[in-house]
Structure 1
């Protein structure tokens, strides 16, 4: 695999998506976020609405380890796949879409356990973006035109959902610096500062290849 892929995990309101989009813009490559749903829907046969309603949501049933031992990503009609909970099917459809994208082009991928899906990809930089809570509250209030209390509730809900999703499927801890090559505080560095750091880290990694 010669393509270089940058994956970005992010706290809600930390501007992780904006940072990913700016990184992609500077490198002249694509940034995938919701676009993954369209690709996964096309390849798996799911309608996009079903994928979106289950996007980055964990499942509490059916052991993932059992799925990975018995399920082939290329056979959507096999019995193990048909017996899975819907959330599990959505994850596996996106998992395959992420691997296909990384196999054909250099890109930035936001969220969706992309770092886990690409753990064997030889040129992959895994980044996590976090920020001070007050800064995130202000960002969410401005972005969604909601009250401070609603922004706090939304941040708590979204972070919990993302953490549960990541922890469940990757068997690692969301936001733990040991799971990423680079963790950045966007409330200190700003969007441009984070982008500069990511690009600098990318260059260092390429020098070692």
Structure 2
């Protein structure tokens, strides 16, 4: 089983991912842990931009996208991540996971969203910043994720058709969000592989 979690900023994805990892006793990968895995495997140099989420050059993106209906040109990093994970069971936050692992039959892809005001409050509390600063963080991060996802997948980030579950995790809270995802997994009949 692989669970991928995409999210708007301020939706508690890390807490939800940690609880899911504990519940299913499978590894939990964030940007930082995947970066360390890439470094250990000697492939970090090929994935540097992928991990750094550098701002996408809009002109370069537009030029690279012209006439390429077969898919994104920037797939090397996606292929490397797919190879690093293979058929392992895990939970991945971000990194276009829903796209990379879309062909796995044991994929459960989740998109966490929330009302903007609720997410701003959550970020302000979590980061210990003013609501104004939190609003800037939320807007900047979400905008970055829109461009990042489009750059690597040519798909619209947050489009509900690209995920199994899309729900407001801020209103629901961490524990109930984990329970909802668990209920969905049970409904699908997906079972953990025996070690």
1:63 aligned residue: 64
Question: 1:6 and 1:150, CA in 2 relative to 1: closer, same or farther beyond 3 A?
Answer: same
Name which of 33, 36, 40 aligns with 2:34.
36
Structure 1 runs of 4+ aligned residues shifted over 4 Å read 50-53, 68-71
Cα distance in 1 for residues equivalent to 2:24 and 2:129: 34
Question: 1:56 and 1:118, CA in 2 relative to 1: closer, same or farther beyond 3 A?
Answer: farther
**Match status 1:190 vs 2:185:** no
Name which of 171, 177, 182 aligns with 2:154.
171
Name the count of aligned residue pairs.
185
SS of equivalent to 2:9: coil
What TM-score does the superposition give when structure 2 sets the normalisation length?
A: 0.82
Cα distance in 2 for residues equivalent to 1:126 and 1:158: 20
In the alignment, is the contact (CA less than 8 A) between 2:106 and 2:190 conserved in 1?
no
1:22-62 Cα shifts (integer Å, max 9, x gaps): 111110011101211122233315299x5587237534326
1:75-130 Cα shifts (integer Å, max 9, x gaps): xxxxxxxxxxxxx5xx733x234313442421100001011111211210110001
Greater shift in the superposed pair: 198-207 or 181-190: 198-207
2:45 aligned residue: 46
In the alignment, is the contact (CA less than 8 A) between 2:16 and 2:174 conserved in 1?
yes
Gaps of 5+ in 2: none
